[in-house]
Amino acid sequence: MEPKPEMNIHELFRRFLRRWPLIILLGSIGALAGLVFSLLRSPVYQAEALLGININYGITESLALVVEDRALSRLGTLVLADSTLERLMDSLPAETKDERNWKSPGDIREDLRLDKRLATWALVVMDTDPEFAAFVAQNWAEATLEIFDEANEHAWRAVRLLSGSFIIDCEERIEEGEGAQFWDCRAFPQGASAEELSEEFEREVALSHGVLPNISYELLQGASPPEEPILWQRAWLILAGTLLGIVLGGGLSLRDTGSAYRAEDQSQSE
């Protein structure tokens, strides 16, 4: 009994290259299909509002890079937090939210994006209506600044509780035999019990959302309606169609090769 012919990888590659016109043709058809599909879709517009975010080193010492990064990252988390997005949704007309099925912060978060560009943060909104995209981006920026103001106020209150609510009492102490001089210092709560001050401090820290009082922020540029739709989605659709066509062409080429080997195997068996 003669052994069955084995599929040679070099032969497969040679047959694959021999059918390159088919692969190019199907890849071109796939790219054209992706382009047509992108043209049939509703255009998507992108509007953005710019915030200036930085650490105010006029009121604080230099911070380590890891500390600075964590402080700014906390602000980024707050920009996309449910509390901020709920305030944004409250400022939007009910009919527009119903049209887009925005019922919770998670729904609207899918159409928002925060781009951090060093000290400039872009609050990006994508929508099929350029006017509405700019309206949402502007309201998002205003809601974010309001949240920052409230968090910053509570952060300063926590600082004042630490610095102004205690009296420091120090007594001189001299160690016998060594002649060393020390100071024994204790902190006493002023105007309230230690438990009350502790509860108030914890409450202010919680309301500050972890924001440090040395953060500076401002609205650098308001959102304006974009004139042209974004095209990066079209590029991805064309690329996906091209790859799909190439894969299909390669599959057809290998399928023909497999059929040839099966025919050869059948002829040898006969």
Alpha-carbon gap, residue 174 to 4, rounded angstroms: 100
Q: Is the pLDDT of residue 231 over 60?
A: no
Q: What is the mean predicted confidence (pLDDT) over 250-261?
A: 60
| Per-residue pLDDT at 84 | 93
Helix pair angle (9-18, 20-40), 10° resolution? 60
What are the residues facing 51 on neighbouring strands? Answer: 121, 219
pLDDT value of residue 261: 47
Q: Which residue has the higher pLDDT, 117 or 166?
A: 117
Measured distance CA(224)–CA(89) in Å, rounded: 19
Mean predicted confidence (pLDDT) in 42-69: 82
CA distance 172 to 2: 105
Q: What is the pLDDT of residue 1?
A: 46
pLDDT at residue 124 greater than cutoff 90 = yes
Decide: 192 and 165 in contact? Cβ < 8 Å.
yes
Tell me which of 186 and 51 has the higher pLDDT.
51
- Tell me: pLDDT of 158 over 70: yes
In 3-state terms the chain splits into helix, strand, coil percentages (rounded to 5) of: 55, 20, 25
Res 187 pLDDT > 60: no
Range scoring the smallest mean pLDDT among 7-16, 211-220, 236-245: 7-16
The structure's pTM equals 0.63
